[in-house]
Structure 1
């Protein structure tokens, strides 16, 4: 605490510089949201990815999530500062402590934007995949779902299941973390922009309590770590790992990270990883079809294999037990976070990965792999 808030030697000793820098970066963020080309000239995506890559490799040396510990530290620090600020209203020194608090928040904002925040203003992932933004109709959406169901049914026959007949992963979490890296290596052979060695994904210590929020993974911008809930169902676990690793590679938007989770998993040889990514894509695509035509949705749902139906039912039952006020508040916080970073549709934008799926399916006359 003293090193942070120290009078002469602390990192906040020249606090006004951090406050000014935060203001400048905020202004640049607003400008670059309307003009991504300006951002690329001032802070290229390649430079940002190199920074995250270096940061994640350094923090990756430590087996536990430093980002998670960083969150706990700042929550505790925030409580302490709030109490101290109230006390100093009556005892004196409020202005000085408030100034240092604002300085520290400015420092965090600057680091967040430099490591990750600016990626919300960059051009779409489409530019790396040679896809063109296009709107498609019911016929194309129906065909996409037919393809995904066929793939999911086929892959389901090649994976393991538990005594209840529900999909289970034979490999350990650590093995999946390593195998997910291999998926990106294969994917980046065709799309080099996603190449490079990053720190391996890590499990979240507080995974069980996190189930009450509905959060399955978190990218930690301050440490460059891809963190994953290890206490949830196996069904989407590999896809979640790849999703968080996509954030490591500078993909900020949830819909684009979801799409990459499907795309990268499709390049993997392991059927469990391929199945997980396909189910993630199928859930989003079928949800879009349900909104478009419930009759079409029901017709295609009947073509699910019994194994796929059991897996989806078990997944829903698992999270049903955790629903409640905490889940609703966490969803609202996440929604506000996404909107504050330009994702104007908030959590609803998770369904927008279907646009990318359709573009890949129609424009290249194929699904990934």
Structure 2
């Protein structure tokens, strides 16, 4: 009976894959029935269920699963992987369960409508519009930098503890949800990752655990980056699975935050994306705008770069390549390059804001 059940689970793996291909072609179905109807309720229940824990339940779960996998591999090595008919079905059955849990608990959100449709903003723009937005972001970033530092050449240092940053991150969502009800955040579950040091060497700021719904933040990173990172992971919690969309939501939350340090983190985060895209399109205009930036903003950027350079290692490109492939498989055709889509969302969001005035 047990073997029959395992065979059924193994058989369901290709069935699930076919079903996912079907859903990929019907984003309205995913949006209306999963992302807006089912997911918000049971994800909220998950967060209320263990969000109060002072540690990451998901990281402990991954540790336990990792130990089980290592034990299983050691047994297979000792047996020289003989008699595959006795263990291949087991592996396929486990993969089937994990694949199902991943999608049911969160992963279906990869196949929802694009964010610009959900928020009713456009997703294309001209180079001139990009240039104008970059100018606006520089003015705001310089203004905030001057407010938070003694001179224009030093970097901004966030004076809050990690826990205070987390609390203020949640406050940012309370503020932005007044304009965007889709971003209402209840059942807080924002955690320090127990794997912050390994994440630093893998090249990741944080991640969402799809099995527990916890937003995990790498607290080893430069504190100036934690507000946007934590906001990004909450964006994932709210059902916006794509990286570019979570980045845009992080910009919205931090740029509209009542705290000046958070606004600085958000504006300079958005500015960097815009300047990178402007450099790709028009290097001369990029140079013109870069000269207008306070040197201290560039110092903040340099500190972030130095952190990642200090953690470079031969394995990081492997993790990045694996994650890039993961994004492509999960309906992000450009992989990590799709992050540039955040610029289109920013340009059109600011255009909408300007038209309202």
Q: Same fold (TM over 0.5)?
A: yes
Rounded to whole Å, the distance in 1 between the matches of 2:133 and 2:321 is 31
| C-alpha displacement of 1:26 | 2.2
Matches within 5 A, 1:1-369: 14-40=5-31, 43-88=34-79, 94-133=84-123, 135-159=124-148, 165-365=154-354
Instruction: Confirm or deny: 8 A CA contact 2:278 2:285 kept in the other structure.
Output: yes
The answer for unaligned runs of 5 or more in structure 2 is none
Rounded to whole Å, the distance in 1 between the matches of 2:255 and 2:82 is 62
CA change 1:102–1:188 in 2 (3 A) is: same
Rounded to whole Å, the distance in 2 between the matches of 1:130 and 1:144 is 19
| C-alpha displacement of 1:82 | 2.2
TM-score, length of structure 2 as denominator length: 0.92
| C-alpha displacement of 1:308 | 0.9
Instruction: Confirm or deny: 8 A CA contact 2:9 2:92 kept in the other structure.
Output: no
3-state SS of 1:365 partner = helix
CA change 1:335–1:44 in 2 (3 A) is: closer
| C-alpha displacement of 1:21 | 4.2
Rounded to whole Å, the distance in 2 between the matches of 1:19 and 1:337 is 22
Rounded to whole Å, the distance in 2 between the matches of 1:140 and 1:90 is 60
Instruction: Confirm or deny: 8 A CA contact 1:160 1:170 kept in the other structure.
Output: no
Instruction: Confirm or deny: 8 A CA contact 2:156 2:300 kept in the other structure.
Output: yes
Instruction: Confirm or deny: 8 A CA contact 2:199 2:206 kept in the other structure.
Output: no
3-state SS of 2:215 partner = strand
The answer for unaligned runs of 5 or more in structure 1 is 1-6
3-state SS of 1:157 partner = helix
Instruction: Confirm or deny: 8 A CA contact 1:239 1:261 kept in the other structure.
Output: yes
Instruction: Confirm or deny: 8 A CA contact 2:31 2:113 kept in the other structure.
Output: no
Instruction: Confirm or deny: 8 A CA contact 2:207 2:217 kept in the other structure.
Output: yes
Aligned residues: 356
CA RMSD of aligned residues (A): 2.4
| C-alpha displacement of 1:42 | 5.2
| C-alpha displacement of 1:278 | 1.2
TM-score, length of structure 1 as denominator length: 0.89
